[in-house]
Amino acid sequence: MPKLKLWIDEQEIEVEEGTTVLEAARGIGIDIPTLCYLKDLNAPAACRVCLVQVEDRPTMDCSCVLPVSEGMRVLTHTPAVLEARKEMIELLLSDHPFECLTCERNLNCELQRLAKRYGIRDLQFSGSRNHFPIDDLSPSVVREPDKCIRCRRCLAVCEYYQAVGIYRMVERSFNAIVGPAYNGSLMETPCIYCGQCITVCPTGALHEQDSTARVWEALRDPELHVVVQTAPSIRCSIGEEFGYPVGTPVAGQMIAALRRLGFDRVFDDCFGADVTVMEEATELLERFERGGPFPQFTSCCPSWVRFCELFYPELNENLSEVKSPQQVFGVLAKTYYAQEAGLDPERIFVVSIMPCVSKKYELLRPEMNDSGRRDVDAELTTREFAQMLFQAGIDLRKLPEEDFDAPMGRASGAGIIFGSTGGVMEAALRTAYEWVTGEELKDVEFPQVRSDKYKDAEIPMGDLRLKVAVARGTGEARRLIEALKKGQKEYHFVEVMACPAGCVGGGGQPIYIETNDWNEQVAHRSRRSGGLYQLDRQMEHRQSHKNPAVIRLYRDFLGHPGSEKAHRLLHTGYHSRRLYAPEPLPKKEHKQRVPLR
C-alpha cells in the first residue's frame, strides 16, 4: 500500500492509503469521539459525532468513513467542530429518556460518557420524544427502543457476524428505529438469543431479562435447598467487574462469594461439562459404528442449536443429542444429587451462572424437564451475578479462596476449557482418543484446535483420521454448512459456539466499552480464555473420563456412558422451527414503564 502525506491539526503524518481520517488521527494520539462506529463491523456514518473539518471542503465530514487523501489538511477540534459535536449529542439526548439512574447501563453507557466528555449541562433543543413499547416477551433479550440511538451496531453484528439478520431500520424520519420486522417482538423472529446485540449496544436499549429477583427470592426461602452451578468461563470474567485484569482466574474467591450470598451448595458446571464429554464422545463413536450421519455437531450452545433448528432443520440429526452442560447438571442435581443428599427434588432450586443470555431460553425449553420438573430454575449472567454481589456488599477482592462442594463440584481440566472456543472439541478429543486407541495420551493438549480463527484439523487416532473443525459465530457456521453442502468440506466432528471466542465472549459477559474496534473487542474477550487454559494446566485430572466424581456418577447412578438411564436423563431431541412464529414458551405480560418525572 502506498503511503499518503497529510496534516491533522497541523501535524504532518504519513499513513497508508485507505486509512480513515479517524484511524490516522488516533495514530497520533488524537481521540475523535465516536458512537455508532465499530471498526471492521459497523460504519454507517449515522450518528455524526466524529465530525472533522477538512480544509477546502464546504461541509464537515465524518472521520470514521472519510479516507485520507494526499495533501489533505484536517482540523479535528476547531470551535465549530466542537460545537457541532456537542449539538449532535444534545440532539440525541433530546430524544432520549433521562432514566440514567435506573438504567441497566448506568455508568457503563457510551452516550452517557460522551455527554460527560462534552460537558453537556443543559439541552439547547428539546421537543417531543419517541415512545415505543418495551419488548420483554423474549425469554432472553429485552429491547427498550426508547433508549436506541439508531447506531445499527445490533443490526451489523446480527447480520454480518451472526448471519441471522433479525434487525432492520423500520419506519422513517423521526420515528425511524432499529428493530425486528414491523418493530414487533423478538419473540416473533428467528432471534437466536445469543445476546451479541447486547454486548455491542452503546446504551441500555438492549439488555438481558433480569433474573436476580427470582434468585434472591429463592435464597430467602427457608424451604428451598438452593444449589448453584457456575459455567467454566465465569471464574475468568467475573473478576473484571471487580477491577481484576481481564482473564484473571478468581475461582476461589468466586466460590467464597457464592457461599456468602447464601447458596446451600456451590457446584461446578464443569462437572456437567465432563459428563457431556462422556456422552458426546460415546455418541461420536456410535456414529462411527452406525456409519453416521456426519459430521456430528456439538450442542452445548443453545443459540447454535436454535440457529440450526431455524435455518438448517435438516441437520437436526447431526446435532449431538446430548444436552448442554447446564441441562446435564440441572437434571443430575435433581436426580443424582437429590438421591445422594437425601433431598426431595421438589425442594431443590437450581441456579446457573452463565456467560450467556440464551441459557435463559434453553432452560425454558419444554423438553428440559427430565427430572420430572424444570431441571434448571433460574439463570444469571455474569453481569447479574456481579450485580447481586454489589447489592450484598461482597467484594471479591477481599475474600479467601474456597473450594467447590462435592460431589458435583469436582471437575477435570477438560470441563474447564469448555468456556473457550475449541475447548469442547479438545475436551472430547482428550477422551475419544484414549477410548479409540486404548493408549494413554502423553500430552493431553490439542493446540491444533485452539485458535481465535476458523480452524480445522485431522487428528490421527489409530486407524482413524478424525477430521474436525471449530467455528465460532453462526455466520462462520453458516459458511461452514454451505461448504459442507457443496461437498467442499468433509468433517466427522464440528464444534460451533455462537459467540466470538466462545463462551468467554458470550452475550452475558461483562460489557467492555473501552474500544470501538470490533476485532479489539473480540481480542479482549479472547483474553479471558488464557485464564481457563492456565487453570486446566493446574488440574490434577485433565480428562473427563479420569475425573473421579464422574467415574463415581456412572458407577453409582448412570451405569455406563450411553446407558438407557443416561439417554433418558441426559439426551434430548430437536425440532424444526418456523422463522417468524412465536415460541410456545410461558407467556408474560408487557412491563409498564413507570414515569419517573
- If one asks whether residue 125 binds other proteins (CB under 8 A), the answer comes out as yes
Given the rule CB under 8 A, which of 38-46, 445-453, 554-562, 573-581 is the region that contacts other proteins?
Answer: 38-46
Tell me the closest approach of the beta carbon of residue 108 to other proteins, in angstroms.
Answer: 22
Choose, from 188, 283, 379, 476, the residue flagged as catalytic: 283
Which residues contact residue 516 at a Cβ distance below 8 angstroms, ignoring those fewer than 6 apart? Answer: 34, 37, 38, 39
Question: How many secondary structure helices (H) and strands (E) does the chain include?
Answer: 19, 17
Catalytic: 64?
no
Separation of alpha carbons 403 and 548, rounded Å:
16
d(CA 360, CA 118): 38
CA–CA separation, 542 and 546 (whole Å)? 7
Residue 98 lies near other proteins (rule: CB under 8 A)? no
Choosing from 362, 379, 476, 583, which is the catalytic residue? Answer: 362
Phi-psi region of 202 (alpha: psi -120 to 50; beta: other; left: phi over 0): alpha
Catalytic residue among 237, 503, 526, 544: 503
Q: Cis (ω within 30 of 0) for the bond into 407?
A: yes
The residue annotated as part of the active site, out of 140, 185, 233, 320, is 320
Is 209 within 8 Å of 251 (Cβ atoms)?
A: no
Instruction: Between 177 and 532, name the residue whose CB sits nearer to other proteins.
Output: 177
| Marked catalytic residue, from 300, 301, 356, 499 | 300
Angle at 358 between CA 339 and CA 223, to 5 degrees: 35
In the complex with other proteins, the residue whose CB is nearer, 39 or 410, is 39
Our finding on whether 95 is near other proteins (CB under 8 A) is: yes
Asked if 163 interacts with other proteins (CB under 8 A), we say: no
User: Does position 226 bind other proteins by CB under 8 A?
Assistant: no
Q: Is 148 one of the binding residues for other proteins (CB under 8 A)?
A: no
280 catalytic residue (yes or no)? yes
Cα(474)–Cα(496) distance, integer angstroms = 8
Question: Quick one: which of 7, 13, 44, 585 contacts other proteins (CB under 8 A)?
Answer: 44
From 14, 70, 367, 482, the catalytic residue:
367
Is 300 tagged catalytic?
yes
Nearer to other proteins, 155 or 449 (CB): 155
Minimum distance, C-beta of residue 94 to other proteins, in the bound complex (Å): 6
Among candidate residues 240, 280, 379, 384, the one labeled active-site is 280
Nearest residue (CB) to other proteins, 65 versus 224: 65
Q: Which of 82, 176, 406, 579 binds other proteins (CB under 8 A)?
A: 176
| Three-state SS annotation for 185-227 | CHHHCCCCCCCHHHHHCCCCCEEECCCHHHHHHHHHCCCCEEE
Binds other proteins (CB under 8 A): choice among 11, 78, 106, 124 = 124
The answer to whether 283 is a known catalytic residue is: yes
Q: Which residues make beta-bridge pairs with 571?
A: 322
Q: Which is nearer to other proteins, 45 or 441 (CB)?
A: 45
534-553 residues in contact with other proteins (CB under 8 A) are: none
Please report the sign of the dihedral spanned by the C-alpha atoms of residue 176, residue 180, residue 185, residue 191: negative
Distance CA 100, CA 94 (A): 14
CA distance 503 to 472: 10
Q: Pattern 347-386, binding to other proteins, x per CB under 8 A? A: ----------------------------------------
Burial of residue 445 (number of CB atoms within 10 Å: 0-12, 13-18, 19+):
middle
359 in catalytic set: yes
If binding is defined by CB under 8 A, does position 91 make contact with other proteins?
yes
Is 367 annotated in the active site? yes
Q: Which of 7, 9, 13, 45 binds other proteins (CB under 8 A)?
A: 45
Member of 39, 48, 207, 360 binding other proteins (CB under 8 A): 48
Cβ–Cβ under 8 Å, residues 575 and 453: no
Residues 257 and 253: their CA atoms lie apart, in Å, by 6
What's the grid cell of residue 178?
432499529
CB count within 10 Å of CB 309 equals 18
Question: Exposure of 31 by Cβ count < 10 A (0-12 exposed, 13-18 middle, 19+ buried)?
Answer: exposed
Query: Is position 362 annotated as part of the catalytic site?
Result: yes
Per the annotation, the verdict on 485 as an active-site residue is no
Taking residues 502 to 521 in sequence order and writing x for each that binds other proteins by CB under 8 A, - otherwise, the string is: --------------------
Grid coordinates belonging to 332: 443430575
Instruction: Name the minimum Å distance from CB 43 to other proteins.
Output: 8
Say whether residue 181 binds other proteins (CB under 8 A).
no
Stretch that binds other proteins, among 92-100, 267-275, 279-287, 393-401 (CB under 8 A): 92-100
Cell numbers representing residue 208 in the block: 438481558
Q: Contact region for other proteins (CB under 8 A) — 4-12, 123-131, 500-508, 585-593?
A: 123-131
CB-based contacts of 273, cutoff 8 Å, min separation 6: 232, 300, 325, 411, 414, 415, 416, 418, 424, 427, 544
92 interacts with other proteins by CB under 8 A: yes
| 59 to 88: interface string for other proteins, x by CB under 8 A | xx-x--xxx------------x---x--xx
Give the residue, chosen from 75, 169, 441, 461, that forms a contact with other proteins under the rule CB under 8 A.
169
Please identify which residue in 31, 171, 317, 367 interacts with other proteins, judged by CB under 8 A. 171
DSSP, res 244? P
Confirm if 371 and 569 have CB atoms less than 8 A apart. yes
# chain residues binding other proteins, by CB under 8 A = 36
Per-residue DSSP letters for 511-580?
P--S--BHHHHHHHHHHHHHHHHHHHHH-S--SGGG-HHHHHHIIIII-STT-HHHHHHHB-------TT
DSSP assignment letter at 457:
E
Q: Is 592 in the site for other proteins (CB under 8 A)?
A: no
By beta-carbon proximity to other proteins, the closer residue of 28 and 80 is 80
Shortest gap between Cβ of 168 and other proteins (angstroms)?
7
Contact positions toward other proteins, by CB under 8 A? 44-49, 51, 59-60, 62, 65-67, 80, 84, 87-88, 91-92, 94-95, 124-128, 150, 168-169, 171-177
Catalytic annotation, residues: 280, 283, 300, 320, 359, 362, 367, 503
